[in-house]
Chain A
């Protein structure tokens, strides 16, 4: 869906990037809340006054997802995990059936920024400069997040 000026409209942008944004959000807040984070982020981006002038919309959406994930709160995943362990997976709706608790326990140890740095580095294979551009921080900050993330994951990865 391309407009007369050659710019994709919001719905086309959404359809193009929603899948990878959902994966990214899963890396930030876990699978339960990822769809809500993506929806909120897209609404926020599309409503922004600067949105029509944004050249790299993909990068903009990544930053917005990270911002919303921050607001969403890093402890939500911890709470979800607690609820899940108490209730048992049989009593939770999808995607609980496919939940890998060991992985979520590991991710829960990290801050949202650390999760973003790890996801973009090790899943998207981006350089620290590119990760920094996606996150809106310097490459040095990215390296710092990665170092701390590796330290926090140390026991699991040793």
Chain B
């Protein structure tokens, strides 16, 4: 039986479950409760930056660039965001204060691009249903000339969205395949991203649109997490975006759509640094607590600990853990993050991130 016929049968069975139409609604129109907006995490960023400046804590480069997490520690709320980086995968580096840069790609023989791209994962047992961002270090093999200058950095997002590019299992990309970052530049703490016209259509639906924007914003600000982003098409600032007309009249940043993300998500790729795998992200969970687990190749939990974020129960806070390298077998192990339901203790908002071999995912761009 053809696939089309099976889908038609599926739809027929679905429609057969359709209930009776509700009675004509004569009451006063009711505005749907769209839920409370959570407090903005702006304060988190501001206070974090101030603390770093006052205490003179070293900012680690991300070539580098992972926040300083002590190996084996289970908790940290240190506020270190990557202020500068190249697109190279994380590796132990110096503690030199970074200098701004606008170049991110490192073409290797013109055929391989390595960089950090934010994909998303649909958390298991999520009560809000929002996606969790997960940055991955990707190594994408493409036709010679595809990645020949920095303007193709985020063009790689489009290649990844291409139907011919198989993403790592468990990860998805909300950016439609015809969307391209035509050019971009980082100047004075602001990213200006020139997009093609397909960008204006969005991803189809409010949640898909905000997911697409979050992926783009986080990836474009990888060098400077505090930078804002201005999207343009044909040189003109984009005012409204997607089918729901999301306003982009003002520059947006990592905080703008953060409430449309899952209560636990990652801000940095999981990477090995001085005998520990560092896991850094944001969380907005009950009493700021979350659990991290190490899973072996069979999916069994071999280690579990609790940690806390710098804020919770209505506000976003940073968290960071260092997982002892002895617990990890690259290519087999996974790290799982979750909270426990306040009602029945069941795991919720669960994300599971496999640890790739050699610290990066190797993909081939499609046609």
A: which residues have CB within 8 A of B? 11, 14-15, 18-19, 21-23, 26-27, 30-31, 34-36, 38-40, 42-44, 46-47, 66-68, 70-76, 78-79, 94-95, 98-100, 103-104, 106-107, 111-113, 118-119, 122-123, 135-138, 140-141, 144-145, 147, 150, 153, 156-157
Q: Which of B17, B34, B163, B201 contacts A103 (CB 8 A)?
A: B17
Assuming the contacts A31-B17, A68-B32, A141-B176, asked whether A22 and B205 have C-beta atoms less than 8 A apart, the reply is no
Q: Would you mind naming 6 contact pairs between A and B with Cβ atoms under 8 Å apart?
A: A31-B19, A39-B22, A98-B16, A100-B14, A103-B14, A157-B7
Instruction: State whether the Cβ of B306 lies closer than 8 Å to any Cβ in chain A.
Output: no
Assuming the contacts A40-B32, A95-B19, A122-B7, asked whether A74 and B129 have C-beta atoms less than 8 A apart, the reply is yes
Residues of B within 8 A of A95 (CB): 17, 19
Asked if A144 and B18 make an inter-chain contact with CB atoms under 8 angstroms apart, the answer reads no
Assuming the contacts A144-B204, A145-B204, asked whether A18 and B22 have C-beta atoms less than 8 A apart, the reply is yes
Interface size class of B (residues with CB under 8 A): 35 or more
**A21, B206: Cα distance in complex, Å:** 21
Asked if A113 and B208 make an inter-chain contact with CB atoms under 8 angstroms apart, the answer reads yes
Assuming the contacts A43-B25, A153-B7, asked whether A113 and B204 have C-beta atoms less than 8 A apart, the reply is yes
Asked if A21 and B10 make an inter-chain contact with CB atoms under 8 angstroms apart, the answer reads no
Residues of B within 8 A of A18 (CB): 21-22, 24
**A71, B206: Cα distance in complex, Å:** 8
**A38, B15: Cα distance in complex, Å:** 15
| Chain B proximity of A14: nearest CB distance (Å) | 5
Instruction: State whether the Cβ of B30 lies closer than 8 Å to any Cβ in chain A.
Output: yes
Q: Which of A44, A94, A106, A157 contacts B3 (CB 8 A)?
A: A157
Chain B, interface SS category: loop
Residues of A within 8 A of B126 (CB): 75
Closest to B178 in A: A140
Most-contacted residue by chain A among B21, B32, B126, B207 (CB, 10 A) = B21
Instruction: State whether the Cβ of B257 lies closer than 8 Å to any Cβ in chain A.
Output: no
Residues of B within 8 A of A34 (CB): 18-19
Asked if B4 and A122 make an inter-chain contact with CB atoms under 8 angstroms apart, the answer reads yes
Residues of A within 8 A of B177 (CB): 144
Instruction: State whether the Cβ of B11 lies closer than 8 Å to any Cβ in chain A.
Output: yes
**A96, B34: Cα distance in complex, Å:** 27
Instruction: State whether the Cβ of B29 lies closer than 8 Å to any Cβ in chain A.
Output: yes
Asked if A138 and B201 make an inter-chain contact with CB atoms under 8 angstroms apart, the answer reads yes
Instruction: State whether the Cβ of B109 lies closer than 8 Å to any Cβ in chain A.
Output: no
